[in-house]
Each structure stands twice: as structure tokens, then as C-alpha cells.
Structure 1
Amino acid sequence: MSRRHLLPIGVLAFCTAVDLISGQGQVLIGLLAMGPLVAAVVLGRGATIGYGVVALALAVALGFYDRQYTGEAVLGQSFRLLGMVVSGAIAVLACTLRLRREAALARLNSEAATSRAAVQLAASLQRSLLTEPPAVPGLELAVRYLPAMQHAQVGGDWYDAFPLADGDTMLVIGDVAGHDVAAAATMAQARGVLRGIASTVTGSPAAVLSALDRALLQLRVDTLVTLVAATVRPDRDGGTTTLTWSNAGHPPPVLAAADGTVSVLRRPADLLLGISATARRTDHTVQLTPGDTVLLYTDGLVERRGSTLDEGTDWLVQALTPLAGRPLEQLCDVLLEGMAGAVPDDVALLAVRVRG
């Protein structure tokens, strides 16, 4: 017998003893109603019903001892027994509600634990994918990622940089809609598919994004994705470096020239990924000289409460102007200074500089 049974048994034994000690004619039968009520707090529904039946049987038996089945006492005894039945029913109802509440709490705790585990797993996956950029002759690369504080450090922003077979380097900055485990999973899927496409599809960034758009729709990825894919091609004769990019609804790259001027590479942005497999994709090209820096970023960098994205972009230009000559790692650190843990959205940053 479980120790939890000791309490209702003790209550019934105590009430019976009190009634017997009080002597015949002292009606204390109503105290027995506490037995099933106590059982309802600590035991299951079946045990509560059992203690209700035991309490009723004791009340019937003690009625004979207390001489409650003669004369006018019968009516009062009948009401007392009816009260025992009602109290037993109330105890069973209370027990049922308690068990339902406990089951709901257990389910919520289990779901919360599962959710936390999924968030730990997604965060680990995200960190494993946000790798350090490769070493590229003639280029300097720097990357940063800041999670939004209110989104459990899991989101859909990412950066990537990897070499291509023709000697170019591909740069990617992307943002999957949402700030949860699903967004992180979609990000991982989009990143992997894009890498596979870029290694097999010959052509420009626009061709890669067109193939990625078709692949995401075929895979039934129904989440919207904004993305800038770019290739950097150093001039083989040591002259200018060519940056070619295609923009799928993403904030435009920013160019901090070696002479200190900062400009936004505003070009008409194409449709977001995930809407149409036949969306037209366009390439844009700019020539870079030694010392030039191009910044790719997600919208969390330029989002400000009460301000438009254009105003945020203007802020970025002003912030970059005095930083144009700084070492690239220092430039990224100063640009993000004070934003960690306080940004309303995730921030991913990818900076590339042509070495002098």
C-alpha cells in the first residue's frame, strides 16, 4: 500500500473512533466525509471512489450504533447519508479536475522541454553553419552574427562565403522569414541547396538564384527568403576586381571606397525567393579597386523603431564614413558596438575588402 493511503485511512479511523468514544446518541457521522475529500487530493479517481464507498458504509454502520434508525431520527440519518453520497461525488469530481490539471501541466512541461531541446539543437545547427570565411588571395573577409535577444538566439539570418570552381568567390547574405526553429531549419536547407547549385550551375549569381528559387518551390519550402548572392573575381592582371551580384528582395550592398566615400549600391531588387519559379533575376556589376570594402548585411542592422529602412540605410552610410579606413575586423566591431542583445531582429554581416 502506498504511503499516500495512510492519510485518508487515518482520517476515517479517527472520525470513527471519535464517534464511538462520544457514545451512543452523539451523531458525528458527518466527519467521515473528510475521508474521500482527503483521498481526492492525494490519490487517483478509483481510490477516491473506494474511500467514498467506505465512508458511506461506515456512516451506515455507525448509524446503528448511534440509534439513528428509530423514530424521528431516521429522517435525519437519511439526510446525513445523502450528504455522504454528495460529498463523495464532489470528492470524485475534485479528483478528476486535479488529475486533468496535472496531466495538462505534465504535457506542457514535456512540450516546453521538447521545445527547449529543439531550440538548443537549432542554435547549435545555426552556429555550425555560420562558419569562418575562407582565406582568399587578394581579398579580406570578415563576418558577424548577432541574435535578437527576444528570439532565443535562433533565427533565419545567415551569411556564407566559399570558392567556386572557376576561381571566383561567392558571397551570400540571406534572411528567412521568422525567428524560430522552423526558420533556422529552412535557413540550413536553403544554404545547403544554394551551395550545391553554385558548385554545379555555370553562370552568374542571377542564374544561381533562379535555380535556387525553382529548387525551393519543388521542395515545397513555403517560407519567403530574401537574399543577395555575389561573386568576386580578382583581375588576373592585378588591376580592378569585379563584383557581380543579384538581389532577391534584400537590403542593397553598401560600398565604402578606399578614398573614404560611402555609397549604397542601389539597383532594382528582384522578387523574393519562394514566390515564383519563373521570376526574372538580374545581375549587377561594379568594379572595385584596392582598399574598397563592400558590406552585405541583413535588415536587422538598419531596422530602427519609428524609422524607415531608408532612414536606417542613411544611418549606415553615415556610420561607415569615418570607418572606411579602419581594419576590416575593427570596422565590423565598431559598427555593431552596443547592439548585442538589444537588436529587435537578428543581424548577419559579411564584409569583403580588396587588399592593397
Structure 2
Amino acid sequence: MNRRPTRRHLLPLGILAFFTLAQFALGQGQIILGLVCIAPLTAATIVSRRATAAYGGAALAVALLLGLHEDQYRPDTLPSMLVRLAAVVACSLLAMGTVALRLRREALLTRLSAEAAESRAAVELAESLQRALLTDPPPVPGLQIAVRYLPAVKNAQVGGDWYDAFPLPDGATMLVIGDVAGHDVAAAATMAQARGVLRGIALTVPSGSGDVSPAAVLRALDGALGRLELDSLVTGVTATASPSPGSAGALLRWSNAGHPAPVHVTAAGRAELLDRPAELLLGISPAAPRTDHELVLAPGDTLVLYTDGLIERRDAALDAGTAWLVEQLGRLADQPLEQLCDALVAGMSGRLDDDVAVLAVRVNG
């Protein structure tokens, strides 16, 4: 049995009893009966509205009876006695106002706590979903693939950035980097849907030649997002890497939907931004034109796909961040791929304003 509610009444009851007994103990002429108003004021801080009203009534009744005991209703003492009784009534009304404010505040705190718990649960679910989706890349003959993901600290560890790499039926490898607008649970949920839909499209929508067109995948994804009524803007790069006919390298085909341009780094250390005419991001017009671009990657060459959190700086223009990235990749060209990725994101954790996703691919030499 929970005795806590009963214990809450001990203090206001004790106050009433104390001042009543004190009045009797001190004898007539020691008028302390007005102090019984402390009982409802105390009750207002620990018990319910109804109980506080009961203590207010009890305090008034005790004051009336003590007034009779002290013979305070004579013509010469009646005015003073009425002032005391009025003070008890005023204190009781103040106690009722106090308990109303307290209960309202407690209800607000309870609601906020419940909402916070729901929010934490949603964030934890989104984190679990994101971790499940941002998996290690598959082993691919002839290629090395490395990935990194850093969440923005201020956005509760979830966001809309993602990377993906998976084999295609024609023997090529699909490479994806994407970013859903927003930095919350909703963005993470949209990211999960976009990633799943893109995978399904890439595995089922080959071009006329039988291979997979990155532009066609983006076009179909744009239409699917509209039909699914996912009211979000998405940027992304889709690419395929496949053995290059007649060479030891790999044929890269890519299409860019409003996303930061990939960087190509040669084995000799020359870094180049694969900056092609900009095409519309996803979520605006499913009929927007999409273009495939091609590049042969030689043995030892590296391709780096990334989200804008890697190059955004609060105190610098985006072009400056892009120039920094190209310079860094030129210096890091001779590093093992995993170390190259570590160097790119070194020092960023704990101070990010945006998520960072990196997908790096190197052709085996």
C-alpha cells in the first residue's frame, strides 16, 4: 500500500494541531489563532486542490472556535477578531490560487516529460534505423571502398545524409551519396525510404544497352518520391563503376542531382572536381532532365563522394570548402584509402553543424 499521499497530510494537520494546542496552553490573552492560516498555505504545496480547500475550511472553523474560547466576540474585541478571520479567509483563497498554479505546472512538466520520452524513443529508433542502413560496403573485386559518417552534434545524432554501395546484375557496382533536407527524425525516415526505393530501382531499371544508367535511376527515384508523397528535397549522386573494356581500370558513369560534385584523384596526386552542368535536385520536377557522365578511372585512381557537411564552414564560403577538399585530396593521394578518409574527417567530430557522409572508391593498382 502506498502511504505517501497520507504522509503529505501530516504537515498541514500538524500545523493546525500545534497552533490550536498552543492557544490552549498559553491561556487567554495570547491571541495566536490567526496563525492557523499557515495550514492551508502549507497544504497548497503538497496536496490536491480539494484537500487544500478542506484545510482552508478547517482553519477558518478552528479560528472561529478559538475565538469563542478566547471570548473574542465582545464589542470591544470583535473588530480585531473579524480582521483575524478575514486574514484566515484571505490565506485560504491564496492557498487555492497557489495549488492551482502548482497543479498546472506539474501537469505541464508531466506532459513535457512524456513528450521528451516520446522524442527520445523516436530519436533512438531513428538512430537504430540509420545505423542499420549505413552499413559497411560490400567487397568488390578490383575496387577498394571506404565509408565514413559523422552526425551533427546539435541534431540529436540523426539526419538525412546517407551513402550506399551494392552490386548490380550487370556486374557493376552502384555507388550512392545522398542528402535529404532537414536534420531530424523526419529527415532520417525520408532518407530510409529514398535509399530503399533507389536500391529497388537500380536493380530493376536497366538502360537500353542492358546496363544501369545512373541518370535513369535518379529520374525514376524522383518520380517515385512524388508518387509516395514524400514532401522533401533530396540531393544526390548515383554512379556505377564497372570493369573498363580494354584496360585495367574501371569505367565510371555518374549523374548528379544538385549535389556537391565528386572529386577524382589520380594515382599521381592530381585532384579534380568532376563539376558538370548543374541539374535539378530531386523533389521539384520529376520531368527534369538527367544526364550520364563518363570517366575512365586508371589503376590507383580514387573517387570521393561526400555530403556538403564536409565542405561547409560557418566562417567561409562553400567554394572555399570545396577548394580545401580538392587540396587535401591531392596531398592525401598516396595514403591508404581508410587513412585518407580518416584524415578528411579528422577533428570534425563534436563541432559539426551538419552531418557528414563520405564514400571513397579506389581502383586497385
Note the 1:1-356 alignment, pairs <5 A.
Answer: 2-203=6-207, 204-356=213-365
Q: How far apart, in 2, do the equivalents of 1:10 and 1:160 lie? A: 69
Q: How far apart, in 1, do the equivalents of 2:38 and 2:15 lie? A: 7
Q: How far apart, in 2, do the equivalents of 1:260 and 1:56 lie? A: 91
Aligned partner letter, 2:153:
M
Q: Tell me how far 1:248 sits from its aligned partner.
A: 0.8
CA RMSD of aligned residues (A): 1.5
Q: How far apart, in 1, do the equivalents of 2:10 and 2:322 lie? A: 72
Aligned partner letter, 1:77:
M
Q: Percent identity?
A: 61
CA contact (8 A) 2:242 2:251 kept: yes
Runs of 4+ displaced beyond 6 Å? none
The answer to which of 248-257 and 303-312 deviates more is: 303-312
The answer to which of 175-184 and 30-39 deviates more is: 175-184
Identify unmatched segments of 5+ residues in structure 2: 208-212
Aligned partner letter, 2:265:
A
Query: Residue deviations 1:155-199, cap 9 Å, x none?
Result: 111100001111111100011112221111111111111111111
Q: How far apart, in 2, do the equivalents of 1:4 and 1:339 lie? A: 52
The answer to which of 248-257 and 17-26 deviates more is: 17-26
Q: How far apart, in 1, do the equivalents of 2:25 and 2:335 lie? A: 94
Q: How far apart, in 2, do the equivalents of 1:148 and 1:76 lie? A: 68
Q: Tell me how far 1:287 sits from its aligned partner.
A: 1.5
Q: Tell me how far 1:149 sits from its aligned partner.
A: 2.5
The answer to which of 289-298 and 332-341 deviates more is: 332-341
Look up the SS of the partner of 2:147 in the other structure. Answer: strand
CA contact (8 A) 1:146 1:341 kept: no
CA contact (8 A) 2:216 2:290 kept: yes
Q: How far apart, in 2, do the equivalents of 1:34 and 1:91 lie? A: 9
Aligned partner letter, 2:23:
D
Query: Residue deviations 1:17-49, cap 9 Å, x none?
Result: 111222234322201101111111111111000
Look up the SS of the partner of 2:165 in the other structure. Answer: strand
Aligned partner letter, 1:330:
Q
Corresponding pairs, count: 356
Aligned partner letter, 1:107:
R
Look up the SS of the partner of 1:134 in the other structure. Answer: coil
Aligned partner letter, 2:184:
D
CA contact (8 A) 2:249 2:363 kept: no
Look up the SS of the partner of 1:49 in the other structure. Answer: helix
Query: Residue deviations 1:314-339, cap 9 Å, x none?
Result: 11111111221222112112222222
